[in-house]
Every structure is written in C-alpha cells, then in structure tokens.
Structure 1
Amino acid sequence: MDGYSRLVAYLKVLLPLMALALMSTMFLISRGVNTDAVIPFAQQDLEDRTRGQQITAPFFSGTTAQGDEIMVTAAIARPGGSGKPATAVNLEAEIRMIDGGRIMLNSETGSLRPDKDMASFRGDVEILTNDGLRITTQELNTTLSAVQADSPGPIQAAGAIGDLTAGAMQIDTKTEGGPVHMVFNNGVKLLYDPQQSER
C-alpha cells in the first residue's frame, strides 16, 4: 500500500471521528433552554384582553351628503352592551371637506353611537385645522353623517389671530352645502397678537 492510499484510509476514519467530537462539544457547551421565559405581554394587557370582546385598530369611513369624507380610527374598540355605547381608546378622526379644508380630531377615549348618528371624543380632545388653528377641550360630540360638532365645555384655541378661550364651541354649516364655520360662545376672550397674524 503506497503512502497516498494509506493517507486516504486514515482520513476515512479520522475525519468522521473529528466531526463527531465537534458535534459533541457543541451540545455540551451550548446553553440550556430557559423554560421560565416570560410571555411578552404585561399582566394588565392579558387581563384587559380576557375581560371582554374587543377590536384592534378598527376603521370607519363615510361620505356626507355634500361629499365631505369622514374617517374614524382607534387603537382599540369595545362593543357596547344594553344601553351602553361602543367605546374606543385613542380615537382619531379626519374630515376632508369638498372645498379642500381638513379637520383632524383625536382624544384619549370616546364612544360611538351609530344608531344615533353620533360619536363622542373625551379626555384631552385636540382639534387641528389645515389653516393652523389648534383647539383643545375635554369633550366633543360629533355627527357621523355630516360635518357638525359641539363642545359643551370650555375650549382653548391658538392660531394666526392669537389665543382664544370660550365656554363652548359649535362646528356647523349655516346653509346646506355651505362652508363650515366654527362658532365660539359663552364668554369668549381673545388675546390678539398682530405679529403672530402677520407671519
């Protein structure tokens, strides 16, 4: 038997043994499986999810008779019960008016009453318009089939004309198909800033 044949014969035995030794070493030094792994959900999340039915990231959209688009989304929605409306968390709405105007609404919580054609935004409600007006209040009731809303409580607003406070506010059209107006009432106070309005 020449040297080459002898080398091949040794390698046929040696290489499989080396492979077996390497595999054994890998299994011996590998970390054990952690059987106490934590499920990536907080206990409160699990309790909330098992407490009742809910919908994640619901979406509602519609068009008014005048052609304005209304889109409503939420992080979570829970169906209503007997005499209770459906509720939502992190409620957001966008109203795109046919004349190019846009109103954005968002709040911490809210409720939907499609049977009454109504949605309510509650808790740190913020209203933004495309012309830079920002309004905050604690409650806003809106109609689902039209661009119509009212805030029965105090509001604060800031925009190009300055800072404004009022006891209540309505969003509505004066005539059918007419432009949308925001009407502030109940003790309106305006701090006018001419430099801000010139910007």
Structure 2
Amino acid sequence: MALAKVVLPLVSLGLLATLFLFARGREYEPSLPFAQVDIEALAREQRIDGPAFSTVTRDGSKLYLSAKTVRPDLSGSSAINSTTITGGLRMPNSGSIDLVADNAVIDGKSKIAELSGQVEIQTSTGYLVSTQRIAAMLDMARIESSGHVNATGPIGTLDAGRMILSQDAQSGAYLLVFKDGVKLIYEPKERGDRQ
C-alpha cells in the first residue's frame, strides 16, 4: 500500500508531462475581428456613422431622424451636418409622414432641421411631395418648404410655390397647405376604379 501511494502519483505526473511534451502546437487566430478602417482618416475628421434622433414634440407628435453620417459644423455653431437623411413624424391622431433627403443641417439651439438636396415627403393620406429644401421644427409638428414643390395625391398632381404642414390652432387637426401660385391638375377616378 505504501508503494502504491508513491508510484501512482508519479505515474500520473509522467502521463501529464507526456501530454504537454507531445501535444502539437496550434496556430491561434485573433479571436476578435478588427474593422478595416482608415485610422488616419478617422483622426483627421470628426464624425458619427449611423446616428438616430427621436423626440416627442409639444403637441404629442413623435419625430425621428436618422442619417448615414453626422459631422460637426466647423463654423463653431451648435449645428451638425448630416448626409442621407430618413425620418418621419407620427401625429397623435394616427396621421403620419415619412421623409428622405440628401443632406441636413440640424441646429439644436434653434430647434430646426433644414433638409436639402432631393427631399421627398410621403403622407399617410396618399400625397408624395418633392422639393429641394424644407425646414422641420424639432419641438413641434411643423414642416415648411422654402421654395417650389411638386406633389401627387388622391386628387391629381399639383405645383405650388411652397407648402406648410402644421397643426390648426382651432381644430387641432394637422393640415397640409399648399400656397403661392398653386396649379392643380385634377384627375378624378373613373367609375370602374371605385370599390
């Protein structure tokens, strides 16, 4: 028995030693994937990729915006410059709009997002509005174009000098109003189209 107490631990140590001596070396690959980025470019420019912003306005509407990239305005103001913007506005009465734009300047201090480039607004009432520039308030449901708009909708196509989407102070309803030289081409549905 005394011999077994000495021999068995020595045999187990010998087996463990042979496992370490004859084990094949393994080639280890890095366990963490590294992004292929240009470190120098990241150091030169300040930017955020894929940011999103959402808020509830004073009238209870939900506003959200997302962008491909955001960069600070180098003029020293509180504004940020964004590219490839998507967003929307969900009103409390279940109406909504979706919008896309090429660029935006978002000024948190003045609570305005100015969208530019090719701007498109799709309303839940069936209107598709195209323009070159709009201003969206960040603290209330109000969107206004500063120039010419083209729109197609349930009643036909129209051109106008500008448009405003806002809440009516008396009724509380949200209205899409076209102004300044509105030209409407009325296209009534034919009887066969009605269901």
TM over 0.5: yes
Identical pairs, percent: 30
User: Which residue of structure 2 aligns with residue 120 of structure 1?
Assistant: 114
Alignment counterpart, residue 133 of structure 2, candidates 123, 128, 139: 139
> Unaligned 5+ residue runs, structure 1?
1-38
Where in structure 2 are the equivalents of 1:42-191 lying within 5 Å?
49-81=42-74, 82-83=76-77, 85-175=79-169, 178-191=172-185
User: What is the rounded CA distance, in whole Å, between the counterparts of 1:51 and 1:162 in structure 2?
Assistant: 50
Moved over 3 A (4+): 45-51, 196-199
Q: Structure 1 residues 161, 75: CA separation in 2 closer, same or farther (over 3 Å shift)?
A: same
Asked if the contact 1:160–1:196 (Cα under 8 Å) also holds between the matched residues in 2, the reply is no
Q: Give the total of aligned pairs.
A: 158
Supply the RMSD in Å over aligned alpha carbons: 2.3
User: What is the rounded CA distance, in whole Å, between the counterparts of 2:102 and 2:71 in structure 1?
Assistant: 14
Alpha-carbon offset, residue 179 of structure 1: 1.2
Asked if the contact 2:67–2:83 (Cα under 8 Å) also holds between the matched residues in 1, the reply is yes
Asked if the contact 1:66–1:177 (Cα under 8 Å) also holds between the matched residues in 2, the reply is no
Please report the TM-score for the alignment, with normalisation by the length of structure 2: 0.74
Please report the TM-score for the alignment, with normalisation by the length of structure 1: 0.72
Alignment counterpart, residue 194 of structure 1, candidates 188, 191, 195: 188
Q: Deviations for 1:13-63, whole angstroms, at most 9, x for unmatched residues?
A: xxxxxxxxxxxxxxxxxxxxxxxxxx977xxx8886454100011111110
Q: Structure 1 residues 67, 77: CA separation in 2 closer, same or farther (over 3 Å shift)?
A: same
Asked if the contact 2:118–2:132 (Cα under 8 Å) also holds between the matched residues in 1, the reply is yes
